[in-house]
Structure 1
Amino acid sequence: MNNEKRVVLITGASSGMGYASAKYFNEHGWIVYAGARRTERMKDLQDLGVRVHRLDVTDHESNQRFVEAAINKQGRIDVLINNAGYGEYGPLEEISLENARYQFDVNVFAASELAQLVLPLMRKQRFGRVINVTSVGENVFMPLGGWYHATKAALGMWSDVLDMEIRPFGLRSIVIQPGGTQSEWGKIAMQNAEKNLKTDSPYRKLVLTITKAFSSLKISATSEDLAKIFYKAATDAKPSRRYYHSLADRMMVRIAKNHPSLWRFGIEKIVNRMSR
């Protein structure tokens, strides 16, 4: 891709990696369309020249307006970054299927719909990239994260299939798998776990234990660090199929994929120690 007026669409841009990425791409001369439900949290981005839009990725008309705003004004879309997502944590026995379906709506089906909206133009351009933000949680697994892990695994597989289908047109579908990042994500996930508990739930101690484990994590990666990974995936001349922030993230995924029993043993050992 050349450097002239490249256009990127970023979802979930009101905080964390999405916010940092919108700022980073804007600093590097891109035309940035940043979408999120909480537009009041993107005022600083708007002041920098980012095109801020209210976006509910579970709403078809909202997605359509977001994409059409870029097409009608710019006439091109170079990159779509499907960053919006959250963790519907809680015991699988107790999470309602309504909440589970909403987890898939946000983390999987929204990405699919947005891709369907941008791909016709990208095919016409003969260039473009769809970047899908999954997680190391696409492969690693832990108690209470069942539906979250399921959505990230689904998004990763969907992205791989899409990549095979669109490469003949000069397009790419790429996955970024962040590990632990300094953000509100873990706090919100554990708040959801608490909300999903039934009265007198037998899993209350487990939720307290996992909350304790989350709070004890020493996380060094920042949203700004991940923004640079997003940018690399968008601009590499020969992009990789998967991008990771660190060797540790890559190794976690490798262990969980190739030695799931070893991964489970390690997690259970941590949970047992934390529960004392």
Structure 2
Amino acid sequence: MSKTVLVTGASSGIGKATAIYLAQHGYQVYGAARRMDMLQSLKEYGVQPIALDVTKEESILACIAQTGRIDILVNSAGLGSYGALEDVPLSEARNQMEINLFGVARLIQLVLPQMREKRYGKIVNISSVGGKVGLPMGVWYHASKFALEGLSDSLRNEVRQFGIDVIVIEPGGTKSEMTAIGAKDMMRVSGNTVYKGLAASLEKTYGDMEKHAVEPVVIAALIKKGIEAKHPKTRYIGGAMAKPMLLMRKMLSDKMFDKMLMSQMK
């Protein structure tokens, strides 16, 4: 019997690639996102579209009700909103935390009872290299991903007794509309403030990173590897510059890492 997967954020990027890739490999896949018009193309791959706004309780409940039994939850819905801490309105910060953290947590709450009953389940949380490395102008994005990493570590040790695995995916540079949207958002928020010089440097850095980004199917394959492993790793790393960046973060002191990081933003 094929496993049933719910992939959030399936309208673009990693979520879309994952929904298609898993459907092509025999999984029964539900692809969920706010933009239903952008989900329609998934039907040709056998993916069933579902409307989902992870910031709205009624939408989350309706999504879970439609899917029924879920064996694997892939939390890929996310927002990369940027700007200096001093400039970002807290309303925007709260929205980012709702999407990247609280929406994830609520979905997990709702699928856990059925997973416990079956004594089987895979919860895949899409974090980022940005869940271990904090870039300037991305305070709320990184705060949400650092928090997701902590949530995943705690959850893993809560639910392993029920046969449920929690897997964190840490992508590096991956082709996605999020990078361009995030850079544009950063310039809207901080492009004309005292942080405009740093914002301009980062905008150029993001543009350079995009040139080396991998296709999102690379991350989709990593997710498949994790959910099919008998004893999955707690974390899977992939994408441009992901492994060397995380290795340097582990080896260097905070100040040395800061110096290396900021030297790339001139």
Q: TM-score range by the shorter chain?
A: over 0.9
Whichever residue aligns with residue 100 of structure 2, its letter is N
Q: Which amino acid aligns with 1:124?
A: E
1:66 pairs with one of 38, 41, 63: 63
Residue 242 (structure 1) aligns with: 235
Closer, same or farther: CA 253–115 of 1 in aligned 2, 3 Å: same
Select 1:116's aligned residue among 109, 127, 133. Answer: 109
Residues 133 and 246 of structure 2 are in contact (CA less than 8 Å); yes or no, is this contact kept in structure 1? yes
Equivalent of 1:149 in 122, 142, 146: 142
1:224 aligns with 217
Deviations 1:98-122 (A, max 9, x none): 1111111000000000000000000
Q: Deviations over 1:74-126 (max 9, x none)?
A: xx211000101111100111101111111110000000000000000000000
- Cα distance change on mapping 1:213 and 1:240 into 2, 3 Å: same
Identity of paired residues, percent? 37
Match of 1:22 among 4, 19, 24: 19
1:88/1:148 contact within 8 Å kept? yes
Q: Distance in 2 between matches of 1:162 and 1:56?
A: 23
Distance in 2 between the 1:92 and 1:40 partners?
34
- 1:214 corresponds in structure 2 to 206
Aligned partner of 1:12: which letter? Answer: G
Kindly provide the amino acid, as one letter, of the partner of residue 63 in structure 1.
I
Change (3 A) 1:204 1:247: closer
Q: 1:177 corresponds to which residue?
A: 170
2:37 to 25, 37, 40: 40
Note the C-alpha offset of 1:246.
5.5
TM-score by length of structure 1 reads 0.92
Relative to the length of structure 2, the TM-score reads: 0.95
1:50-199 alignment, distance < 5 Å: 50-71=47-68, 76-197=69-190
Contact 1:139 1:257 in 2 (8 A): no
> CA–CA distance in 2 between the matches of 1:226 and 1:241?
15
Q: Distance in 2 between matches of 1:19 and 1:248?
A: 22
Q: 1:99 to 1:269 in 2, by over 3 A?
A: same
Cα distance in 2 for residues equivalent to 1:9 and 1:258:
37
Q: Name the CA distance, whole Å, in 1 between partners of 2:15 and 2:66.
A: 19
Q: How many correspondences in the alignment? A: 264
Aligned-pair CA distance for 1:248: 4.2
Alpha-carbon RMSD across the aligned residues, in angstroms, is 1.4
- Code of the residue aligned with 1:81 in structure 2: it is V
Question: Do the aligned residues in 1 keep the contact of 2:218 with 2:239 (CA within 8 Å)?
Answer: no
AA in 1 matched with 2:71 = D
Shift of the alpha carbon at 1:235? 1.1
Could you tell me which amino acid in structure 1 is paired with residue 196 of structure 2?
A: R
Gaps of 5+ in 1: none
Match status 1:10 vs 2:2 = no
Q: Secondary structure at the match of 1:35?
A: strand
Find the counterpart in structure 1 of residue 195 from structure 2: 203
Q: Matched residues in 2 for 1:31 and 1:227: separation? A: 15
Contact 1:255 1:262 in 2 (8 A): no
User: For the structure 1 residues 29 and 104, does the alpha-carbon distance in structure 2 shift closer, same or farther, using more than 3 Å as the test?
Assistant: same
The Cα of 1:203 is off from its aligned counterpart by 1.1
